[in-house]
Structures are given as structure tokens and as C-alpha cells.
Amino acid sequence: MNKTLYLSFLWHMHQPYYKDNSKDITTMPWVFLHAIKDYYDIPWYLSRFDKLKATFNLVPSLLTQLEAYIDGTANDKLLDILKKDVNFLKVEEKDFLEEYLFLCNEENMIKPLPRFNELRIKFKSENKSLDNFSNQEVLDLQTLFLLSWCGNYLRSESFLIKELLKKQRDFSRAEKLSLIEELLEFLKEIIPFYKSLDEKGQIDISTTPFYHPILPLLLDRNSAKEARHDVNLPSSLATYEEYASLQVKKAIMYFQNTFNFKPKGFWPSEGSVSLKTAKLLNENQIKWFCSDEEVLFKSLGSYNKELLYKPYFLELEDEKINIFFRDKYLSDLIGFDFSKKEPKEAAQDFINHLKNIYLDSKESCIVPIILDGENAWDFYKNNAWDFFEELYSLLEKETSWCKTILFDETENIEDLKAEKLSTLATGSWINGNFDIWIGSCEKNKAWQLLDTVKNNFDIQRENLDKETIEKIDEEFLIALGSDWFWWYGDDHYSDVNHYFDEQFRFHIKNIYELMNQEVPKEVFDLIVEKSSKNITNKTPTDYIRPTVDGNMSNFFEWLNSGYIDIKKEFSTMDSTSIIEKLYYGIDREHCLYIYFEGQKLKDLKKDLKIKIEIDNTDYIFDLKRERRKLEQKEKSFIIAFDMGLELKLENFNLKKADFSFELLEKNNVIQMYPKYDKVVFDFENLFLKSWYI
């Protein structure tokens, strides 16, 4: 029987809404930075392979921010500081630069630029301060930061960027300003490029509700209980159905004004769906949408992977809406795992997985690959250029059994039969529920602030004029975006959680002020304390003295240790980590102990090395299932590997020490921690305790 594997990519382009409309400033630079690195590069990689197709999902709130940079109304706080003469920077401006100028991937963005890496090392040694940097060093750092974010298209096509990359140091302010001007000018090319690829038929453009809300929660908060029955919902309640509808209608209208056609497809924010969500999309003439395999399996009541590889549809009011469900494993391989492999090996691995699906299928099938189209590439060498070159080259060759198609094309493919769903389960692409956005103490507190002001607004609405109501509606739409709730609770960590908290509460404050009401005190109270959002989940409470044997021999020997849950550093979706937790502490003889734990570490079969950095000094060890005494760099270690990896460093006399590690396979980094900030082993409380005792 002739059959084909149809491969459908969807690359999701999204950033939170960083614009503070009341002050008319952009508080964070991520739209600009990803625009010069990813929003052009990723479709450009595809465009070089004429036979291949993909869908790009562009979120309206991202496009409006991009538009603001193009028309000069973004007023990006970081860019405005970067434009200044370094000789006249204020203290608070330098403080702001300290927070941002090294927020890029160390291995793939900083180290390839030797001067940038040199400045990173100095910054680290200066306690992460620019105070002892010369003005020329600050100027070099600013310029190199921008260059590190330039994607491959810019690096290959821009004469200025090529020259500055060659120069590496001693930049002038004029060169920096020319670079900023060229980058801002480049942004004008991005949307026209998508339009041209769409007109050519190589891509389809889909979209998302305007400010990226979780539609099921807006339509009915009890959908959280449908997805997970024991979730703890906020004690308050308000209705947001009108805003669910407005998010969809506003997105469609903006899309049509931007691209001159109506979108046919939607990626509901975070793949979050429910039957009510499907009905809302259908009412707005959306022809297809996507979600995750978890939702499909719950809908079918069966976790049979073979059922994943076909299109489905719902019949709603005599109309049909098509649904596609992402292959979680293959999508996550690209998103999280392949960055740790050589490009050729990763690409071939992906093709092999597809071939196995094809061989196991009794008929033609579709494999939806849906993932973040921007953030993953920071962790690939060369912004994933080499990986995509290998992958797309292989896909162009495998035409006898594999073909890339757009989701919009499936109805016209005779050998791809869609199956009817009798119902659609409620859930998202993360664990099939909504726990990332509701249920924890911090998340629920945010919902309670929203509920209070929404109920207040519903009472006051009839006393407000049309213009004020429209402004309030806009503030609600923004505040209902998923990103604020993403960063509350202990699911995710970044060094800028407090900024998201401030921005969220600022929108609540704006609503009260638009109603001419006094802003309640709780709106000014931090939901997340800045100091509490540390990568370290628990600091040591007393001295420890474990037996170094590669096992957590008993619960009590590590009871008073510090503890770090590595999986919660940034993302709950990365299931590839070998080391998942670590424990650390000291004894009274000034020895440092570290215990690394993880299911994949416990079952490890391959030969790896671990590089540990303690107080700016690197130590490298082979992972051998034995107990050894070692000397490195005038330090004495005992290291043991069995169920876990246990390490003892003698003569550790520091109250605080920066810490990081990398797992290496044939000199390739397959896991690093931390990815975004530093970890500090802090024993000051123990020293104080000893002193007072």
C-alpha cells in the first residue's frame, strides 16, 4: 500500500507584553533581541529549502511591540541607555546594564566572542559590578552584547556587523550608534518577509488570542478542575467570558490588518483548550487549531500513541473544526535535547524517529511538531543554523516517504483521513492541565487581585464613559495574559520574576485609577518577594557530616543541608536533565559536601565527565562508579558515584561561593546549571550560629 508521512511544523513566536502604556516605555528588551536573532532567521533557514513547508504562529501582542520599534514609539529602556555616551551614565543606569548585558547564553553567545568572554570573566571576578570597568570596557561590552544577539542572516548580510565582529574591541560610540540604527532598520524587513513566504505558499501564518491568555480559564475557571480535579482554586471569583471573546476577535482583526487576510488557524496560548474554547474559535470562523497529545489521549480515554498521527475534527453547530495534536516527544527533542548533540547526529536521530513512525503506520499519517520558535535556539551552537541545515537537507532528500505540509492543506489530501472526536478534553500542553497558571498560593493571589477589580468594574461600568471603558478593557486584556501567572509560584525561575510581578500589578493599579478609585494597599504589595525567588530552594540549617559513598545512605545525614531543585530553574518541560537535584553543606572541619541526584544519573550507562566551578575555579572529574581520592589544583577531593554522585572538598574556608556545573560527553556540554544566573552556596548563617553559640 502506498502511504506517506506528512510532517507539519509549527514554530510559535511569542513574547510577553513589555510595553507600559501609561508611561509609554518598553520595560524589557526581549522582543527587540529575539527580532534581530530569531524572528527573521528561523523562517530564513526554511526559505533556503524550496520543497519544505512550515507554519509560523505569530502572536498579535508580539507584533504590536515589533511595530512600536519600527515606528519609533517603543522607547525601550535598555536601548535608550545603550544609546547614551558611556562617560555620562548615571549609577542607576549602570545598575540596569549590570542586570542585562550578560543575559545571553554563555557557551553559544558569549564565549564565541573572545573579548565578550574576557569581560564576562572580569565582571564575575568584580562581584558582578561594572564599577571597576573603564568607559571603553563598558562601551565594548554594550556593543558586544548587541552583536552576540545578531542572528546568522545579519552576520552574513550586514557589512557593518561583519566588520564589528572582526574588530572585537575598542569600539567607538559612533560605531555603537550605527549598529543600533542598522538593527532598528532591519526590523522593518521581518513582517514583509513572512508575507512573501506566505504568498509563495511555503509557509502559513497562524495566530493566538491577542495577549496570550489561557482561554479555558477565562471562559470557565472550573475548567482547571476538569483538567485536574484536586487543584486549589482561588477563593474569589469573577467572570471573564467577554474578554475571552474579545481576545480572539481582536487577534483576528489585527491579523487581517497586518497580513490582508483572515487567519484560518490558531495555536491557543500554551495549547490550552476546552470544548468551550473550540466553540469560541468555531464561532469566529477559525478552521483549525492545535493542542497537545495529552489532551487527545484524555479525549479518547486511551494513551495509544498510534492514535496521535492523524487529523481530528469536532462537529459544532453543523460546522467542522479541525484539530491537530503535537507529538510531545519529538517536539521536545528539538526544544530541549538536540542542542546537546552534534547537528548531524541530531538531525539523523529525528529522521530515524520519523521513519519508525512511518513503518509502524498502516496508512498515511501526520506528525505535528509544535514548539517555541525562538527561545530554544540560544542553547544551540550558531543559533541552530547547523542543526537546521542538516535537518532540512535530510528532509528534502526523503521525498519517497516523507513530505512537509501546512495544517491548512490537510483537507485536500485524500489519503489523510480525519477522525471525528466525540468530545474534547480540557487541558494544555504542559502536563495536560493548567497548574502553571492557577492553583499555587502566588498564582491564586494574582487571580484574587484581578477578581476584586473586575467585580468592582462590573458594578461601576454603567457610570463610565465609552473611552474609559475601552482603556479599562485593554488593561484587563493585558493583565489576563498567561505570562504573568507563568512566573508566579515555584514552577519557573528567572532573575526578572519581580519585574513581571510589578508589571502585572501595575495593570491592576491602572484599572483602579481609570475608575477614579483609590488603589487598595494589596495592589502595591509584592506577590513574589525578590529575595525569595532564588535558585536555591533551601539554604543549610546546620552542619552535616555525610559518609561519602555515592549514596544517600540515610535521610538524616543530609537533613540539614542546602537543597536545589534543578528542574525548577527555568522550565518544567525539559525532561532530559540527568542531574535533577543537588544537596550541599559543610562540616565543622571546613569540608564542603555536594550530592547530585537524578533518575537518569542513577541509571547512567555512558562515560561522562562533570566540570564543577567553585568560587571561579574549575575542577573536572570522570564519572566512574567507584570511590576515589583526588588532588586537583592544590585541593583534595573524595568523590564517589553509585546511586548518586557524592563529593567532598577539604579545606573549604568560604562563607559564600559561586557554584555551577556542566556534564560533558566527549567534550560536548549535555547539561549545564545554572543556565541564566548564578548559584551561591551561602553558609553565613552557620558561621553566625557558631559564633553566638
Give the per-residue pLDDT at 495.
Answer: 63
Give the per-residue pLDDT at 684.
Answer: 73
Question: Across residues 16-24, what is the average pLDDT?
Answer: 89
- Helices (H) and strands (E) counted in the chain, each on its own, are 26, 23
Question: Across residues 213-232, what is the average pLDDT?
Answer: 97
pLDDT in tens, 422-473: 999 999 998 899 999 999 999 999 999 999 999 999 999 999 999 999 999 9
Of the pLDDT bands very low, low, confident and very high (cuts 50, 70, 90), residue 271 is: very high
pLDDT in tens, 481-509: 999 999 888 666 566 678 889 999 999 99
pLDDT in tens, 361-405: 999 999 999 999 999 999 999 999 999 999 999 999 988 999 999
Of residues 243, 246, 251, the one with CA closest to residue 458: 243
The sign of the CA dihedral 569, 575, 578, 579 is: positive
Give the per-residue pLDDT at 124.
Answer: 87
C-alpha cell at 84: 547614551
SS3 content of the chain, % helix, strand, coil (to 5): 45, 20, 35
Give the per-residue pLDDT at 532.
Answer: 42
Of residues 432, 429, 391, 420, the one with CA closest to residue 7: 391
CB 182 within 8 Å of CB 146: no
Mean pLDDT estimate for the chain: 92
| Residue 320: strand, helix, or coil | strand
Q: Where are the domains of the chain?
A: 441-532, 555-692
> What's the distance, CA 385 to chain centroid?
19
- Could you count the other beta carbons within 10 Å of the beta carbon of residue 499? 17
Residues 564 and 535: their CA atoms lie apart, in Å, by: 7
Residues 409 and 322: their CA atoms lie apart, in Å, by: 11
Q: Is the pLDDT of residue 569 over 70?
A: no
CB 189 within 8 Å of CB 43: no
Annotate 11-80 with DSSP letters as a single string: EEE-----EETTTTEE---HHHHHIIIIITHHHHHHHT-TT--EEEEE-HHHHHHHHHHHHT---BHHHH
Give the per-residue pLDDT at 286.
Answer: 98
Exposed, middle or buried: residue 551 (CB in 10 Å: 0-12, 13-18, 19+)? Answer: middle
Q: Is the pLDDT of residue 570 over 70?
A: no
Q: Is omega for the bond preceding 213 within 30 degrees of 0, making it cis?
A: no
In this structure, the strands spanning 645-649 and 592-597 are antiparallel
- Could you count the other beta carbons within 10 Å of the beta carbon of residue 303? 12
Of the pLDDT bands very low, low, confident and very high (cuts 50, 70, 90), residue 689 is: very low
Choice among 1-5, 309-313, 457-461 with the minimum mean pLDDT: 1-5
* Higher per-residue confidence, 36 vs 499: 36
Residues 222 and 232: their CA atoms lie apart, in Å, by: 11
Task: Fill in the amino acid letter for 186.
Answer: F
pLDDT in tens, 96-131: 999 999 999 999 999 999 999 999 999 988 888 999
Of the pLDDT bands very low, low, confident and very high (cuts 50, 70, 90), residue 198 is: very high
- Could you count the other beta carbons within 10 Å of the beta carbon of residue 87? 9
Question: Across residues 193-204, what is the average pLDDT?
Answer: 99
In residues, how long is the chain?
693
Domain 555-692 part of CATH 1.10.10 = no
Task: Fill in the amino acid letter for 432.
Answer: G
Of residues 289, 295, 322, the one with CA closest to residue 308: 295
| Residue 560: strand, helix, or coil | coil
> What's the distance, CA 185 to chain centroid?
27
Give the per-residue pLDDT at 531.
Answer: 42
Question: Across residues 36-64, what is the average pLDDT?
Answer: 99
Residues 299 and 280: their CA atoms lie apart, in Å, by: 18
Q: Is the pLDDT of residue 653 over 90?
A: no
Give the per-residue pLDDT at 318.
Answer: 82
* Higher per-residue confidence, 604 vs 262: 262
- Could you count the other beta carbons within 10 Å of the beta carbon of residue 38? 23
Residues 21 and 211: their CA atoms lie apart, in Å, by: 14
Q: Is the pLDDT of residue 7 over 90?
A: yes
Q: What percentage of residues in the chain have a pLDDT greater than 90?
A: 77
Of the pLDDT bands very low, low, confident and very high (cuts 50, 70, 90), residue 317 is: confident
Of the pLDDT bands very low, low, confident and very high (cuts 50, 70, 90), residue 609 is: very high
Residues 244 and 214: their CA atoms lie apart, in Å, by: 9
Rounded (10°) angle between helices 497-514 and 441-460? 10
| Residue 146: strand, helix, or coil | helix
Of the pLDDT bands very low, low, confident and very high (cuts 50, 70, 90), residue 571 is: very low
Give the per-residue pLDDT at 491.
Answer: 65
Question: Across residues 171-200, what is the average pLDDT?
Answer: 99
DSSP state at residue 188: G
Residues 398 and 656: their CA atoms lie apart, in Å, by: 55
End-to-end CA distance of the chain, in Å?
A: 81
Q: Is the pLDDT of residue 690 over 70?
A: no
Residues 647 and 681: their CA atoms lie apart, in Å, by: 15
